[in-house]
Amino acid sequence: MITAAQEGTAIDQKIQELCEAIVSDIEVQNAREQAESFLADEDAMSLYRDMVTAGRALHQMQHSGQEPSATEVQRFTDLQNSCEAHPGVTGFMEAQDVLRAVAEQVNRYVTKSLEMGRVPTPAEMAPQGGCGEGCGCH
């Protein structure tokens, strides 16, 4: 009979193997390099930080029932446009998307395995319908 401690060791080993596969993946490596490049670019970081801060301020205003001024909205739009035109910022956002997608894929498989009590098939993991693009869940 396998004890819980031995089972944990097998799970730990498989987690290590999964993590090794993830960090050795070329797409993940490229994403990490893009993120590190962004973190070394003070101008890109500052621009991105300003956009995020302005976006949060607008969100908080709207959430509290206040109407943002045209100047505040325009400032955010200008910052957003500047970020979209900056290769360092766009590279960082692309890198975030790749890394987030890997984490979500791992989480979906683990969650589905725990729910089903077995490893799900690729067909069971394929997207099923859904609500479409632009809903915020993609």
* Confidence tier at 4 by pLDDT (50, 70, 90): low
What's the CATH fold of domain 20-117?
YheA-like fold (1.20.1500)
- The structural domains of the chain, with segments of one domain joined by +, span 20-117
Rounded percentage of the chain residues whose pLDDT exceeds 90: 83
Asked if the model's pLDDT at residue 49 lies above 60, the reply is yes
Could you give phi then psi for residue 129, rounded to 5 degrees?
65, -110
92-104 confidence digits (pLDDT tens): 999 999 999 999 9
Tell me how far apart the alpha carbons of residues 102 and 22 are, in angstroms, rounded to a whole number. 8
Rounded percentage of the chain residues whose pLDDT exceeds 70: 87
Confidence at residue 134, expressed as pLDDT on a 0 to 100 scale? 54
Radius of gyration of the chain (CA): 21
Asked if the model's pLDDT at residue 5 lies above 70, the reply is no
Confidence at residue 9, expressed as pLDDT on a 0 to 100 scale? 87
Asked if the model's pLDDT at residue 138 lies above 50, the reply is no
Q: What is the pLDDT averaged over residues 40-64?
A: 96
71-80 confidence digits (pLDDT tens): 999 999 999 9
Quote the mean pLDDT of the chain.
90
**Contact at 8 Å (CB) between 125 and 111?**
no
pTM to 2 decimal places: 0.74
Q: Which of 12, 19, 10 is nearest to 102 (CA)?
A: 19
Confidence at residue 127, expressed as pLDDT on a 0 to 100 scale? 82
| Residue tagged 């401690």 (tokens) | 5
